[in-house]
Each structure stands twice: as C-alpha cells, then as structure tokens.
Amino acid sequence: MVAIENIHKTFGLTTALSGVRFEVAEGELFGLIGPDGAGKTTLFRILVTLLVPDRGTATVDDLDVVRDVRALRRRLGYMPGRFSLYPDLTVEENLTFFASVFGTTAAANYDWIRPIYEQLEPFRHRRAGALSGGMKQKLALSCALVHRPRVLVLDEPTTGVDAVSRAEFWENLAVMKDSGVTILVSTPYMDEARRCDRVALLQNGSILEVDRPAEIERRFERRLFGIRARGRRALLEALREHPQAHSVFRFGDSIHFAAAGADLRPELLGTYLEERGFHEADVALIEPGIEDVFMERMQRV
C-alpha cells in the first residue's frame, strides 16, 4: 500500500533523511519510532505530498507522491503533529468543514467515523479550542478520517499526552485498523512500538531496524540483566565498572545491564555487587524491549 524507496532529504546543511526505505502492506498498523529530530515528520510530509524528496521515490496506493498529488490526497488522511483544527469553530463545524474540502459530508460518512466521533458527540457544539487534549485528538482523528481515506498518516498523535489518553488513542487506532485502513503513525515513546504490527526505528535520518516488534527484540544479541538494589547513582557506577559491562542504563525501578561476553550469570553479578556493599541485590536475566534495542543500535552508529 505504501512503498518508500531510498528517500533522501536535506535542509541546507542538515540531512533530514538519508536512504530511507520500507514498505507498508494494506491494512497494516505501522509505527515510525524515533526521538525528535530523527526525521519522522519530514518523511511523513513527503508521504502526504507536502514536501518533495531530493532523491528517491515514494508511492501510496501505487500513486507517486510527486507526480500524482491531487489523486493521492483524496486517499490520504493526515493528522499533523501540531493541533491544526479551527479553534473558533465548534466540533461539528470542524468536521463539516473537513468533509466539504473533500467534496463529501459528515452525514454520508457517519457510520464510518462513528466509533471515534461518538465519544465527542456530547460536546459537538463546543468550540474546538475549548476541548481537553484527549478530546482535541479525537476530533483531529475524526476530521482526518471523514473522507474515508485508504491510508491514515498520524504524526506524533500521543506526544505530550498523558498515559491514560495515550492508551485510549491506541485503542481507537485498533478500531480503525479493524475497518481496513492502513495506518502509519509516528511516536517518540518506545513503549508504543508494541501496539504496532511492524515498526521502523529511525535515528538521525536513517532506519536502524524495520520489523515486527517481537522480531526486533529477538535480534538483541547480548545477555541482558535486570538489577534491583538499593543505591541509585553508586549502583549504576559500580555496574558500569564491571569488566563485562557493555552498556548500563536505568530502566524505571531497575537497571538494565547488557553484558559484553556470553558467560556472565546472574549469580556472578550478584556476588560482584555483594562484594561492593550492595546487599540483597535482585539480579535476573531478562528479555529486552524495543528501548533496549534502540539504545544498542544508537550506540553502534
């Protein structure tokens, strides 16, 4: 449904994208994961025909993003990173407006947008500017969907949004995916990768990995230990001094220790800590997550 082939884009001296390539199948929920400045927005703007790449090609539904602009736009729903609805129009007026831009009406597409829009209906006469953050997002999603696009492109819909609203937003995306829309969504939150069928990890304009989240995690080739013990900084520093320390990072209430060699065992690490005065440390071999992989790949670049 979406094919991106060797896309390059520079702005002055800054290289935003260098040789990005991946494909997204019809009906897939595809995540573009990376921090600010990785190139997520630039790539999405190219896909929705707002920017022209320096090199490379991209097609959506077999239409070229440079040559077939007009035909392509009808098939795309785009939700930019910044809130881009009309704050002085009501919820209903915004929806009517975006439908009319595409030569349709909200009424004709009501069943299609209903799973998202019905959560907003009690507020349909409220000005969009007066909605809460989570409600604004639902309205923006409804407006991006109202002309029944085949592909939805959502640029960081969950940035700056609290954990509860984030979870709700992903539930809504799952509903839209079930109705057959192909969805591309970008996020700086690594933990959201698991909500996607496949993800691309993007850093400094280059793809680090593209695959199903579980496959990416499986490719983490080091033994990874999770350590819980008293002592914040001192514990981290003691672990970084371990001869087998490849990388040592805080991870919530524990520390993740990736070993340089293949023979380190939890008991050995426990003894090492005991000798340095960290008693009753809880050390276990753990499965890596997307964030572990991301940091590992970042350090390699």
Partner 1 sequence: MNVSIEPSVRITARGLTRRFGDFTAVDAISFDVAQGEIFGFLGANGAGKTTAIRMLTGLLTPTAGEASVAGFDVYTETDRIKRNIGYMSQRFSLYEDLTVRENIAFYGGIYGLSGTAISDRSAALLDRLGLGHVGGHRIGSLPLGWKQKLAFSVAVLHDPRIVFLDEPTGGVDPITRRQFWDLIYDAADAGVTVFVTTHYMDEAEYCDRVSVMVDGRIEAIGTPAELKDRWGGASMDEVFVLLARGAA
**Using CB under 8 A as the criterion, which residues of the chain lie in contact with partner 1 when the complex forms?**
34-38, 132-134, 159-167, 188-190, 203, 232-233, 249-253, 291, 294-295, 298-299
Please report how close the Cβ of residue 263 comes to partner 1 at its closest, in angstroms.
27
Please report how close the Cβ of residue 52 comes to partner 1 at its closest, in angstroms.
24
Kindly tell me which of 24 and 199 has the beta carbon lying closer to partner 1. 199
Please report how close the Cβ of residue 105 comes to partner 1 at its closest, in angstroms.
32
Please report how close the Cβ of residue 159 comes to partner 1 at its closest, in angstroms.
6
Kindly tell me which of 73 and 166 has the beta carbon lying closer to partner 1. 166
Please report how close the Cβ of residue 241 comes to partner 1 at its closest, in angstroms.
16
Q: Which two tokens stand for residue 132?
A: 């809460």
Kindly tell me which of 35 and 122 has the beta carbon lying closer to partner 1. 35
Kindly tell me which of 232 and 279 has the beta carbon lying closer to partner 1. 232
Kindly tell me which of 145 and 193 has the beta carbon lying closer to partner 1. 193
Instruction: Look at residues 196, 211, 215, 210 and name the one whose alpha carbon lies nearest to residue 288.
Output: 215
Please report how close the Cβ of residue 234 comes to partner 1 at its closest, in angstroms.
11
Kindly tell me which of 182 and 187 has the beta carbon lying closer to partner 1. 187
